[in-house]
Every structure is written in structure tokens, then in C-alpha cells.
Amino acid sequence: MVPLIVVLLLALLLFGVGFAIKALWWIAVIVLVVWLLGFVVRPAASGGKRGRWYRW
């Protein structure tokens, strides 16, 4: 009975980790797209002046 519970807990843990990693990949892709859009939008909005669109 104990090995069955251990196997089920391990499967649940691996499923959770897999879901979290996939979610983190999607978040990383969204952040990358927003970051790249900032380089395109900022120079056009500032009248062609060079400048950073972020404040760090």
C-alpha cells in the first residue's frame, strides 16, 4: 500500500512540475514579446529620438 501511495505522489509531483514549467515558458515568451515591442514602439512615439523605453 505504501509503494502505491509513493508512486501516486511522485506522479502528482511530476505533473505539477511539468505544468509549472510550461506556464513559465509561456510567461517568458510574453515578456520577451513585450520587451521587443518596446524597442519598436518607443522610438516611434518619441519622434525618432534615441532613448530607452524602460527605466532601469
Give the integer Cα–Cα distance in Å for 37 and 30: 11
Length of the chain: 56
Residue owning grid cell 532601469:
56
pLDDT, position 1: 83
The predicted-structure confidence for 3-53, as pLDDT tens digits, reads as follows: 889 888 988 888 888 888 888 999 999 999 988 887 777 655 555 555 555
